Structure 1
Amino acid sequence: MMKLHDVWEKYQVNKLLNYADVAKFLTKEGQTVTYPPGKMIVQRGDFPEYIYFIIEGLAIGQREYEDGSEYRYFQVDKQNGNLGLLEILSKNEQYVATITSLTEVVAVKVESAAVYDILMNDLDLLRKCSLLLADDLYQRSGNDGIYYYYEGIDRLRLFLLNYAEQLQMKYLSQDSLLVEMSYEQIAAQIGVSIRTVGRSVHKLKKNGEISISGKKIKISEDQYQKLKNYWAG
């Protein structure tokens, strides 16, 4: 009887699916487009008429839950940048997230119908797609409970650390990162009250782990290291 690891090895595929995987099929269909920093590439709710394969640069995404109360931030680059792919594979008629360029982004824009037709007729690409969908579901299932075992202030610490790492501070021109989320949005994300977020922010500021600009949280390079060292210790 074959062991599970042996079967996994037999059908080994890379979790990532990017432009390099489909480029040979898209010699005529693709159109190269460039987005300056801060430009919206796709908007949540729009029909996924095109797939965008990022070949240079970094973009960030904002995803809402169905009730509209929670947000998640994630990054996409040339390794995992296939905007709209999950939507067409699951036959959803709306982009699930708004994606905005963080740096200058160069992408190849392809009609989604052409991409879907290619995927449905290539077994290796289909296997990659199945792993892509399964991994996305698995990661989100795990993240839903990641804060369960932590108190409010540690939930906020972990959230801010993940936020900074996902946005990769080295890509930002300024020397600190502004968290573009309200206390209400953060509270919904980490599963605590707005009041708890406010108290935790006050304590972290007092500890020198964050700064405040207006009503937004700021994280400098040194403060990022403090947050990182807290979990390392």
Structure 2
Amino acid sequence: MQILTAEARSYYLEKYPIDDFFSFDIDQFLEVCKFEKGEWIFKEGSFPDTLYYMIEGKAKLYMTHKNGKVSLIEYLEAPLFMGEIELLNEARYTKGIQTVTETICLSISQACKEKLLTDVLFLRKLCVFLGEKATIMTSKYTQNQAYPLENRLAAFIQLSSDQGIYKEKHTEICEYLGVSYRHLLYVLAQFCDEKILEKRKNGYHIINEKRLAHLAQEIQ
């Protein structure tokens, strides 16, 4: 993680103002930081002392089960809070969050934790965020039942690609989308045959964004 310079800080705070999230002056508790692609924002099992608000980028949320198996739970995309449950003390240890792209976050120190937990304006904002988050998670599970893989995979590729390239692990995505390895490979091959994707050494390149977007929009 890199704390950005005063100049970059001013740029991002002007571009993504969050003063209206709080009823007190948050500036003294706030930093703007950058995570490189593949960097861990939270390592699983840690207890974060920072609340992050992602303003640019994408990340993956992981969980390790008792049997040692690691599952991809959710793709995270700006704007969103990270570490909000830990702030509320509902979870002592966090799940793992790893960036998919270069990611810019506003970092809010828990030095102002008591102020945050008594700030009606902030808590109202957090409640709205948590409600929307729950709705999205419910929607994802119902989509797995209601739509064919072609639509769900198109939407997933849009979400997880970086600079027009999709290269997620097949086994991870099979579990996330609830499909067999064979079915996933079949649809990826179908997308290549239809010239939506092109398979190269560094991943699948999106060559027909319009067609991919059309398939994804079926479930939006």
TM over 0.5: yes
Question: In the alignment, what sits opposite 1:10?
Answer: none
Alpha-carbon distance in structure 1 between the residues aligned to 2:39 and 2:51: 14
What letter matches 2:74 in structure 1? Answer: R
Return the offset for 1:182.
Answer: 1.4
Which string of whole-angstrom CA distances, capped at 9 and with x for unpartnered residues, describes residues 155-208 of structure 1? Answer: 3233324445xx6xxxx3xxxx22231111121121110011111111111111
Residue of 190, 195, 204 corresponding to 2:182:
195
Q: Name the SS for the 2:191 alignment partner.
A: helix
Structure 2 residue 134 is the aligned partner of structure 1 residue 137:
yes
What letter matches 1:59 in structure 2? Answer: G
Question: In the alignment, what sits opposite 1:13?
Answer: none
Question: In the alignment, what sits opposite 1:225?
Answer: 210
Residue of 172, 182, 192 corresponding to 1:205:
192
Which string of whole-angstrom CA distances, capped at 9 and with x for unpartnered residues, describes residues 29-49 of structure 1? Answer: 33x344264373612312111
Q: Name the SS for the 2:144 alignment partner.
A: coil
Which string of whole-angstrom CA distances, capped at 9 and with x for unpartnered residues, describes residues 23-66 of structure 1? Answer: 84334333x34426437361231211112345xx6121101356
What letter matches 2:110 in structure 1? Answer: S
Structure 2 residue 147 is the aligned partner of structure 1 residue 160:
no
Return the offset for 1:225.
Answer: 1.1
Question: In the alignment, what sits opposite 1:26?
Answer: 26
Unpaired runs of 5+ residues, structure 2, are 1-16
The answer on whether the counterparts of 1:40 and 1:99 sit within 8 Å (CA) in structure 2 is yes
The answer on whether the counterparts of 1:63 and 1:72 sit within 8 Å (CA) in structure 2 is yes
The answer on whether the counterparts of 1:48 and 1:93 sit within 8 Å (CA) in structure 2 is no
Return the offset for 1:90.
Answer: 5.3
In terms of Rg, which structure is larger?
Answer: 1
What letter matches 1:110 in structure 2? Answer: I
- Equivalent pairs counted in the alignment come to 197
Q: Name the SS for the 2:131 alignment partner.
A: helix
When the two chains are superposed, the root-mean-square deviation of aligned CA atoms in Å is 3.1
Describe the shift of the 1:60–1:97 C-alpha distance in structure 2 as closer, same or farther (beyond 3 A).
Answer: farther
Question: In the alignment, what sits opposite 1:150?
Answer: 147
Identical aligned residues as a percent? 14
The answer on whether the counterparts of 1:35 and 1:101 sit within 8 Å (CA) in structure 2 is no
What letter matches 1:131 in structure 2? Answer: V
What letter matches 1:196 in structure 2? Answer: H
Structure 2 residue 120 is the aligned partner of structure 1 residue 123:
yes
Return the offset for 1:108.
Answer: 4.2
Question: In the alignment, what sits opposite 2:101?
Answer: 102
Question: In the alignment, what sits opposite 1:112?
Answer: 110
